[in-house]
């Protein structure tokens, strides 16, 4: 049964069922339920199979989108996941966290007059189908090369490099500083957006490919990069991430109850503090929480605070809502969950009691002035508009910088003035021979999929370097 | 991995563990610490200074006081058991050089992290005078170790049950007024003790280094939990420290931040001591 384009366009975009807001703010379980097979097939049928598809150009890892969608429409699920995995090793993650609205779906031609094909939802569906129904199929691995590569950091960039190099037959060891794998996927993104069992599944898959993981290995402290070379690794990939919290440097930022988003989320996600005292790591159990920032991290922190039992959770963002970098779905979910959006406002100082506990935040109203370097209109404080909000917890989610440990202990690794490692955008080569880098450590805090794109390029360049010896 | 080779009870609630950790034993320098988790099941991450290491035997020595659930669980481990996660060495090593005459001051459990520093200072040619303080004789630890690492050891206890009666600051003031030349003081112990030592040394313009023991989570500089104000700027104890110029540290703020989870810590410890485990429902509010 082949539908005409006109018939396809009549099919409405399939909504994904979700936990209702009142219920989901009481638990950390995943919010969207994912498509059923029928829903997925129905959504896949909406694709009009354009002669010149634009969707693929929006994907940082160039998934063959029309092909996998067609395969879902034909209920050829095994082929569909094969297609996706040709270029994306972590589709269960990307389907959940990619900002599709600015990448593939914005290019969807159907989206011009109707709603775009729900490419992200379909990617998520097919990845979950594989994990739950099929089990991971081990792809063909090239014959073992006997060459060893060290990957520093088990986040999206590192995992991508590891997977690609393992498929090429190289021997990969991933060194992870924390006690669990995943990087920001583990410590940054909450369970209700990205269930950790997905990461466990992906890690097991990589182990089946022959990747060796070493946790609690802080490269730069336990071993230097030169020591890794001495151990017989011929190339090193640095995917150490944006693990440096930025604070606002306003008065009162060290009061008890003021957190960086990294700390707040690491306690909750990595350490399971949302289950304290079942988990040993505590986290503030606050009534009124202010989260400063407008990105995905801010949304995650706010929604976590709500689930931890806060009565009032405020997002304080200095620009307008249109300029918020967070994924639309996250803003939407946050609003549904009752998070209060204080936009065009900025904190000026934190106030605490005599024992050092946070009690209020003073904010100032903002208005938009001339555009700044990013092209967005610069927010300007409105004089005399200060006001107070009673809070007992604040989470600073204004961005993260590159973790300094490896650059600090590797003097011949060039960094820019903000501490990002300088890497060639095509080969990901750094200034140190045999060392490649990618992801947030190079780009500054960005997205999972961009990190994966860098990992992909690095793996190719590493393979090339191992084969030719040309630097 | 991380097998406990030897366990010694140093005093009522102070335990010494010698742990097989060959890479850290080789790599570590005085002043550095590790972060560990006792078990896999939702344990928290805690920092402990490396009190000693034997690179030939491939072991590190950890000395800790039982103050809550995590340290109690660590204390429960026996020889042959393994510590589930152990990462290190972390932190910037102590800056060691021949300063001349160094006074090392250790208060209570602080004597453990002080030990490798005293050793290093002595190896570098300094004259090392160590002042060891504790509330009472039973809480004094590592006296023999410190005697080996120092040229002179002065012991003080609050109740006079060992050595002179008094605080470490009393002993320090006595030493200063005796006219002895002191080029540098290293002080490690409870925050209030380090603060008081710095007050004394500031009056006499004696360079002082302290080792801070803030709460930590990752220990690699990514969360900012361990932040302290040093000379008005924010520093992370885990990557910028753990040692800082004592005269520049805002001790009040540090002590205030250290009290952030007192209620949760108490609750956790109570549940642990109660002994039923996580799903206990007897007499619980």
Alpha carbon distance A292, A315 (integer Å): 6
In the 8-state DSSP scheme, what is residue A32?
B
Instruction: Say yes or no for a CB contact (<8 Å) between B221 and A405.
Output: yes
CA A302 to chain CA mean position, Å: 16
Packing angle, helices A156-167 and A196-208, rounded to 10: 30
Instruction: Say yes or no for a CB contact (<8 Å) between A405 and B239.
Output: yes
Q: Which of B33, B220, B272, B281 to mutate to test the interface with A (most CBs of A within 10 A)?
A: B220
Alpha carbon distance A282, A189 (integer Å): 18
Q: Which domains does chain A have, with CATH numbers?
A: 5-134 (1.10.1060.10), 148-243+401-468 (3.50.50.60), 247-398 (3.50.50.60)
The reply to whether the predicted model has a pTM over 0.90 is yes
Dihedral pair phi/psi, residue B124, rounded to 5°: -80, 0
User: Is residue A88 less than 8 Å (CB to CB) from chain B?
Assistant: no
User: Is residue B42 less than 8 Å (CB to CB) from chain A?
Assistant: yes
Alpha carbon distance A263, A246 (integer Å): 11
Residues A441 and A403 sit within 8 Å (Cβ to Cβ): yes
Q: Which residues contact B170 (CB under 8 A, 6 or more apart)?
A: B156, B164
Average the pLDDT over each of A83-87, B173-177, B215-219 and give the range with the smallest value.
Answer: A83-87
Q: Which residues contact A7 (CB under 8 A, 6 or more apart)?
A: none
Pairs across A and B, CB distance < 8 A: 119
Q: Which residues contact A344 (CB under 8 A, 6 or more apart)?
A: A317, A318, A319, A320, A365, A366, A367, A368, A379
User: Is residue B67 less than 8 Å (CB to CB) from chain A?
Assistant: no
CA distance A388 to chain B (A): 23
Task: Tell me how crowded residue A466 is: count the other CB atoms within 10 A of its CB.
Answer: 18
User: Is residue B261 less than 8 Å (CB to CB) from chain A?
Assistant: yes
Alpha carbon distance A87, B97 (integer Å): 55
Tens of pLDDT, residue by residue, chain A (471 residues): 588 989 999 999 999 999 999 999 999 999 999 999 999 999 999 999 999 999 999 998 889 999 999 999 999 999 999 999 988 889 999 999 999 999 999 999 999 999 999 999 999 999 999 999 998 888 888 899 999 999 999 999 999 999 999 999 999 999 999 999 999 999 999 999 999 999 999 999 999 999 999 999 999 999 999 999 999 999 999 999 989 999 999 999 999 999 999 999 999 999 999 999 999 999 999 999 999 999 999 999 999 999 999 999 999 999 999 999 999 999 999 999 999 999 999 999 999 999 999 999 999 999 998 888 878 788 999 999 999 999 999 999 999 999 999 999 999 999 999 999 999 999 999 999 999 999 999 999 889 999 999 999 999 999 999 999 999
Could you tell me how many residues make up chain B?
A: 285
Q: Which residues contact A61 (CB under 8 A, 6 or more apart)?
A: A87, A88, A449, A452, A453, A456
């Amino acid at each position: 049964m082949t539908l005409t384009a006109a018939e396809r366009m009549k099919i409405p975009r399939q909504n994904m069922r979700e936990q209702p807001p009142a219920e989901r703010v009481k638990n950390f379980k995943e919010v969207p339920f994912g498509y059923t097979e029928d829903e997925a097939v129905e959504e896949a049928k909406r694709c009009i199979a354009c002669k010149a598809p634009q969707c693929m150009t929006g994907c940082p890892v160039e998934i063959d989108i029309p092909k996998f969608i067609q395969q879902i429409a034909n209920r050829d699920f095994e082929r569909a996941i094969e297609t996706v995995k040709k270029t994306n090793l972590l589709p269960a993650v990307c389907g959940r966290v990619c900002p599709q609205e600015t990448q593939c779906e914005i290019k969807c031609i159907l989206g011009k007059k109707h709603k775009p094909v729900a490419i992200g939802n379909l990617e998520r569906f097919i990845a979950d189908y594989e994990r739950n129904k099929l089990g991971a199929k081990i792809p063909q691995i090239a014959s073992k090369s006997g060459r060893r590569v060290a990957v520093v950091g088990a986040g999206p960039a590192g995992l991508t490099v590891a997977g690609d190099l393992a498929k090429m037959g190289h021997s990969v060891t991933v060194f992870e500083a924390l006690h669990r794998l995943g990087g920001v996927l583990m410590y940054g993104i909450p369970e209700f957006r990205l269930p950790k069992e997905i990461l466990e599944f992906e890690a097991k898959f990589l182990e089946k490919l022959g990747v060796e993981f070493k946790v609690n290995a802080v490269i730069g402290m336990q071993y230097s990069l030169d020591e890794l070379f001495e151990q017989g690794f011929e190339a090193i990939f640095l995917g150490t991430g944006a693990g440096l919290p930025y604070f606002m440097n306003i008065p009162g930022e060290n009061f008890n109850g003021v957190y960086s988003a990294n700390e707040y989320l690491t306690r909750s996600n990595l350490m399971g503090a949302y289950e304290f005292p079942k988990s040993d790591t505590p986290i503030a159990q606050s009534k009124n929480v202010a989260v400063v920032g407008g990105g995905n991290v801010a949304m995650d922190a706010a929604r976590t605070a709500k689930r931890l039992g806060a009565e009032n959770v405020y997002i304080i963002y200095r620009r307008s809502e249109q300029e918020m970098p967070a994924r639309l779905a996250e803003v939407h979910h946050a609003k549904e969950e009752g998070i209060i959006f204080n936009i065009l406002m900025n904190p000026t100082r934190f106030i605490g009691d005599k024992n050092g506990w946070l009690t209020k935040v003073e904010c100032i109203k903002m208005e938009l002035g001339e555009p700044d370097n990013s092209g967005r209109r610069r927010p300007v404080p409105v004089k005399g508009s200060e006001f107070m909000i009673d809070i007992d917890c604040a989470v600073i989610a204004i961005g993260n910088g590159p973790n300094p440990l490896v650059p600090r202990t590797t003097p011949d690794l060039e960094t820019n003035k903000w501490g990002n490692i300088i890497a060639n955008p095509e080969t990901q080569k750094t200034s140190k021979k045999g060392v490649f880098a990618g992801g947030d450590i190079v780009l500054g805090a960005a997205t999972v999929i961009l990190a994966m794109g860098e990992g992909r390029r690095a793996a190719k360049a590493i393979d090339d370097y191992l084969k030719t010896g040309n630097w | 991995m991380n097998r406990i080779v030897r366990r010694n009870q140093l005093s009522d609630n102070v335990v010494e563990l010698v742990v097989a950790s060959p890479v850290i034993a080789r790599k570590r320098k005085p002043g550095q610490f590790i972060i560990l988790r006792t078990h896999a099941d939702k344990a928290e991450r805690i920092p402990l200074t490396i009190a000693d290491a034997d690179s030939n035997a491939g072991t590190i020595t950890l000395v800790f006081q039982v103050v809550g659930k995590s340290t109690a669980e660590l204390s429960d481990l026996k020889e042959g058991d393994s510590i589930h996660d152990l990462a290190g060495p972390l932190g910037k090593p102590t800056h060691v050089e021949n300063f001349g005459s160094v006074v090392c001051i250790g208060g209570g459990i602080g004597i453990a992290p002080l030990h490798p520093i005293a050793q290093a200072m002595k190896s570098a040619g300094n004259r090392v005078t160590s002042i060891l303080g504790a509330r009472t004789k039973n809480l004094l630890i590592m006296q023999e170790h410190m005697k080996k690492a120092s040229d002179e050891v002065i012991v003080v206890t609050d109740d006079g049950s060992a050595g002179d009666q008094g605080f470490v600051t009393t002993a320090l003031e006595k030493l200063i007024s005796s006219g002895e030349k002191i080029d540098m003081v290293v002080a490690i112990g409870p925050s209030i003790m380090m603060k008081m030592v710095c007050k004394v040394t500031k009056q006499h313009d004696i360079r002082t280094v302290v080792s801070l023991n803030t709460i930590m989570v990752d220990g690699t500089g990514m969360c900012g939990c361990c932040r302290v104000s040093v000379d008005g700027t924010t520093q992370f104890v885990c990557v910028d420290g753990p040692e800082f110029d004592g005269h520049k540290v805002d001790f009040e703020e540090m002590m205030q931040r250290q009290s952030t989870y007192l209620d949760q810590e108490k609750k956790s410890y109570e549940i642990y001591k109660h002994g039923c485990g996580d799903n206990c429902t007897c007499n619980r509010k």
